[in-house]
Structure formats: structure tokens, C-alpha cells
Amino acid sequence: MPRPAGFDRLQQAQMPLRDALRGVSRIAEATESALEPAARLLPDPIRAPFHHALKSMGKVGNRLTKTSVSSQQIKRASCFLTGADRSETALMDCVVSFAHGWDSLTREGPCREEAISETLLSELFARQPMQPEPVGAEQAAQILVAIDRSGAIARMPSLAPAFDATAHALVLIAIATWLLTDRAETREGEESLLALAYALVRATCKEPHETLQDKTRLKTVLTDWADHL
């Protein structure tokens, strides 16, 4: 079904709001964890509302930043990542799909203190030089290295723990692996593929941070892992 006129512009308009809400959510989670020792000293009547307020901030932020991604959007995102579709629609779908992958894999697991910016990611994708012909994992590796070197995914300041380069690289590589594999027939199947991609990369990638710095090496492993899924 074709999208209504202005749909991509509406998506662009929503991106800064979701970015801001992601920041609120991640800071609330980090604040609660960091202040837990001090919170134990508070009287019970004060401690409970304190925890409730922080949890509410985190839950609201998480709920409002969840992106609705369809199977067709994921398919177009995959085509953009490989260079097969260079349209604005495919670019926006790749941004949203990448943000969905990042949020899904980090909400309860690694890199919870890092927030992805759809606004910066869309600007980064728009600046990427595209190969004359679709080149699959080569184009994907180039984009992934550019994401890693940009500020589109950043650790939240002050209360966040030290940056975990290994966990950061694993999530990025897993998302690219997911988008490069054959598409599932259902939306639920796509979620399973994303989880499988992360499990596969975690189990087999021995030097994720180093791999993410080497486009040639990254291209090879992305091709191998996508073929395995």
C-alpha cells in the first residue's frame, strides 16, 4: 500500500521528540540505580514516592519511544543498507528499523545507558556516499563504521557507567546482520530474527570492537552471519 503524501516528513518531525524521550528514559533509569544507596537512607514515606517517580519517568519514556515498524519497512531498510534502494522512504525506514533494533536489544540488556538519535542517524545516512550498484554487505559495512564513528549513538552523561565498547559493537553488528538476512514472513518472525542475530554475533564474534573498525573484515563476517540466519 503506498504511503500518504508527507508521511516521511511526519516521520522526520517525530524523530526529535522520540530522541528527547529516549534521553529522559535512560537518565531516569541511570539515576535510580546511581542513587539507590542514598535512597535507602530516606524514610519509608519518602523513599517509595521517590522510586515511583523515577520508574514512571522511565516507563513513559520507553513507551513513547517505541517505534512501530512494519515488515515492509524492514524490507526497505534492508534494501537501503545494501544500496539496492536509495530513496528517501528507504532511508527513513532504515533509520526507524535501526532505532527499533537498538531499543529492543538494549532496553533490558547491554548499553542501557546509550541512547540512539534518529535525527542524527537520518542526517548521517543522507550524507553516506552510495556505490554505483548495489553491493550488499560492503555498503552495509561502510554505513556501520560511519555510525560507530558518529555521535548518533551516545552514552548518557554524568550518571552512566563507563562506555562498553565491546557491548556497543555487538549490538551494532547484530542489527546489521538482522537487516542483511532473508526477511521473515511475519512481524513476529522479524523479532525472532533480531534476537537470533544478536545471539549469533555474541557467540561467534571474538573481537567485536576491532571488527567494527575494519570495513573489509566487517563485510566478510556480516555476509557469513546473515547467510547463517
Over the stretch 182-209, which tens digit does the pLDDT of each residue have?
Answer: 999 898 999 999 999 999 999 999 899 9
For residue 9, being part of any structural domain is answered with no
pLDDT tens-digit series, residues 99-150: 999 988 987 767 877 888 888 899 999 998 877 776 789 999 999 999 999 9
Res 26: pLDDT? 54
Q: Establish if 150 belongs to a structural domain.
A: yes
Question: What is the 3-class SS of 79-123, one letter each residue?
Answer: HHHHCCCCCHHHHHHHHHHHHHHHHHHHCCCCCCCEEECHHHHHH
Whether 113 is in a domain gets the answer yes
Is residue 18 assigned to a domain? no
The total number of structural domains in the chain stands at 1
Residue 143 lies in a domain: yes
The dihedrals phi and psi of 114, each to the nearest 5 degrees, come to -100, 135
| Number of other CB atoms surrounding residue 72 within 10 Å | 12
Residue 224 lies inside a defined structural domain of this protein: yes
In a domain, 25, yes or no: no
Asked whether residue 30 is assigned to any structural domain, the reply reads: no
**For the chain, what percent of residues have pLDDT higher than 70?**
66
For 100, the domain range is 69-228
